Amino acid sequence: MSRTADDAKFIPLNVAVITISDTRNVENDSSGDYLATSLANEGHKVVRKKIVKDDKYVLRAEFSTLIADEEVRVVLATGSTGLTGRDVAPEALEPLFDKNIEGFGELFRRASITDIGAATIQSRAFAGLANGTIIFCMPGSPNACRTAWEEVIRSQLDSRTRPCNLANLMPRFLEG
């Protein structure tokens, strides 16, 4: 179980929140709003917030821009991780990754089983590193975003979390 060190300094991170959807808009993007609010409440800075349509090539273009943006250190994406024909986030984004973070999907599904039972097998939540940028992709429901944030992501973006966290590893992601 992770814990927060009393003497460690919090490092705020610049984060983009992306909702992948053909049906969401700024008025009903409850998942994106939840993630943006949660990030701000922890002390991180939301530097981009956008809704992007469920299209493989549009996603690749949008995420390539974020990956190349030196201001963005983390991307939290919600939506397009299921099994329907429109759910294309893994196919669109995994080719952009330098490294996969397999543990995210594993932990997310483990945490989800309490809420949704065996239906968690339908989730293709995934994460990876691209050009030193951490990208987390989770299902589009507000409950799934809450589970991902509270059970996995929050502690990994908190530089005070022990024994280790992604925030403190960031300077080493681009080492040769």
If pLDDT is split at 50, 70 and 90, which confidence band does 175 have? confident
pLDDT tens, position by position, 101-125: 999 999 999 999 999 999 999 899 9
What is the four-CA torsion angle of 161, 164, 167, 169, rounded to 10 degrees?
Answer: 160
- Give me the percent of the chain exceeding a pLDDT of 90: 86
Domain architecture of the chain: domains with CATH: 10-170 (3.40.980.10)
Q: One-letter amino acid identity for 29?
A: D
On whether the CB atoms of residues 168 and 158 are closer than 8 A, the answer is: no
Per the listing, tokens 């929140």 go with 17
Compute CA distances 108 → 8, 33, 53, 60, whole Å.
26, 20, 24, 24
| pTM score, whole prediction | 0.95
pLDDT tens, position by position, 124-171: 999 999 999 999 999 999 999 999 999 999 999 999 999 999 999 998
| Cis-peptide, bond into residue 95, ω within 30° of zero | no
Structural Rg of the chain based on CA atoms:
15
Residues 6+ apart with CB under 8 A from 68: 131
* Of 107, 151, 143, 150, residue with least CA distance to 125: 107
